[in-house]
Homo-oligomer: A and B are copies of this chain.
Amino acid sequence: MPVTLSHEAPDFERRFDALLDMKRESSADVDATVAGIIEDVATRGLDAVIELTRRFDRWEIDEASLAFTEAEIDAAIATVPAAEMAALELAAERITAYHARQLPEDDMWEDAAGVTLGWRWTPVDAAGLYVPGGLASYPSSVLMNAIPAQVAGVRRIEICAPTPDGRFNPLVLAAARLGGASRVWRIGGAQAIAAMAYGAGPIRPVDKITGPGNAYVAAAKRRVFGRVGIDMIAGPSEILVIADAANDPDWVATDLLSQAEHDESAQSILITTDAAFGAEVARAVDRLLQRLERTAIAGASWRDFGAVVVARDLTQAAELANRIAPEHLELCVANPEHLMGEIRHAGAIFLGRHTPEAIGDYVGGPNHVLPTARSARFSSGLSVLDYMKRTTIARVSPRGLAAIGPAAETLARSESLEAHALSVRCRLDAQEAAE
């Protein structure tokens, strides 16, 4: 049974806090294994990668068959049904258009003191994207990771996608090509992360690694962080729907289940101002669960982590949403723009009754890699900025140094950093001598 909770309950605050504190992830302790794999790849390179792929993916590769050839990719794409290819192309186009608007601008100006200041954004040289094999091999995630890198101007985009027993998803290769990948390597797991961080045979090291993966991949990303950049480590998916009584309960129920079907640890929460509507949605969820393909997964998620919360009014609903800081937030209310003004923390907001979250997973345009587990309080979804970095720029003229140099000297001496002070003083002295 999902949690059912009304603002009228005397222990509402305590029970809402308990909902926030729910532990949804069992962290398998794979760290020692992963440390060994990374060490092995860092030391022995390609030989280690080949052996580990034989062991974990039951697949024999050598240097020549390590990456898909262009011909193999062509052949795979030729098997993709036309409707799926067209849908993937529409998605790629829309994701590209959205992310192109995120490209940051450089700036440079001179201030009143005669100091030229600015910054410049540059892409990372090379990005590595991890694509899981098996069930979680989502072509949409390939687009969501590769396109921001492509838009950022990353010249080399390496993809690692394991092909256990030789099997692979042709749509993943189609997405890789649409996303501008330089190569797709048939390797996975911690060994793929290590190969991208340290290099292995023909796989040259990258500067930033992104993309979802299992516990081994996540642990490997944590371990190579510092040597390369990584994106966030995503937890199980979540949705919060704020809905008034004017919604169709079936629509809201499918939205809740669209997160629940991802993972038994996913969480779907409805906040409504109408207790009767909440009960109707819960009944609709139960009905839908009887016919859903992934009913076992979605049912377990809804039973263990689902919740229907009845709020006093929309203002209280917004306050509760800010405490949840959800990955996905649907505002299915009459005036969603107004309600959005009260929301401070959410990864992505979907406005109005005709914007199911699934639109954002595929073809909306914004990224579907979003902060989970309340981290929307302090972090953002994946963007073009994740594949770029900013260099700050300063140029001080002799006049500028005369204006601001003495203050730097004073502060350096107050911090007992004499050489700092001297580096300013020697230039000021030379100016004064020249006058």
Interface residues of chain A, those whose CB is within 8 Å of chain B, are 83-84, 86-88, 90-91, 94, 97-98, 101-102, 107, 109, 111, 113, 115-117, 119-120, 122, 124-125, 135, 138-140, 171, 207-208, 226, 228-229, 233, 248, 250-251, 254-255, 257-258, 260-262, 288, 292-294, 298, 336, 340, 343-367, 370-371, 373, 375-381, 383, 385, 389-398, 400-401, 404-408, 410-412, 414-424, 426-427, 430
Contact = CB atoms under 8 A, between A and B. Distances in A.
Contacts of A84: 410-411, 414
B389 A91 contact: no
A162 B207 CA distance: 37
With a 10 A CB-CB cut-off, give which of A293, A383, A411, A418 has the most chain B CB atoms. A411
A300 to B, nearest CB: 14
A404 B363 contact: yes
Nearest to A111: B97
Contacts of A400: 354
Given A251-B427, A294-B416, A378-B124, A411 B117 contact: no
Contacts of A229: 375, 377-379
A366 to B, nearest CB: 4
Given A119-B366, A348-B391, A354 B101 contact: no
A124 B83 CA distance: 43
A292 B288 CA distance: 76
A152 B389 CA distance: 19
A234 to B, nearest CB: 11
A98 B125 contact: no
22 contacts: A84-B411, A84-B414, A87-B410, A94-B113, A94-B404, A101-B109, A122-B345, A125-B345, A140-B411, A207-B377, A262-B417, A343-B391, A350-B395, A351-B393, A354-B397, A355-B394, A356-B423, A356-B427, A357-B423, A359-B424, A361-B412, A378-B389
B358 A420 contact: yes
Contacts of A392: 347-349, 360, 366-367, 370, 381
B261 A361 contact: no
A139 B420 contact: no
Contacts of A250: 426
A411 B366 contact: no
A328 to B, nearest CB: 10
Contacts of A415: 138-140
Contacts of A97: 111
Given A91-B407, A363-B407, A376-B391, 18 more contacts: A87-B410, A88-B411, A250-B426, A293-B418, A351-B393, A354-B396, A354-B398, A358-B408, A358-B412, A359-B396, A359-B401, A361-B408, A362-B407, A362-B412, A366-B392, A366-B394, A371-B389, A377-B389
Instruction: List the 10 closest pairs (A to B, CB-CB), nearest first.
Output: A229-B378, A366-B392, A351-B395, A87-B407, A254-B423, A356-B423, A358-B420, A257-B419, A87-B410, A380-B390
With a 10 A CB-CB cut-off, give which of A113, A353, A404 has the most chain B CB atoms. A404
A280 B41 CA distance: 44
A383 B375 contact: no
A365 B98 contact: no
Contacts of A83: 410
Contacts of A346: 391
A165 B217 CA distance: 46
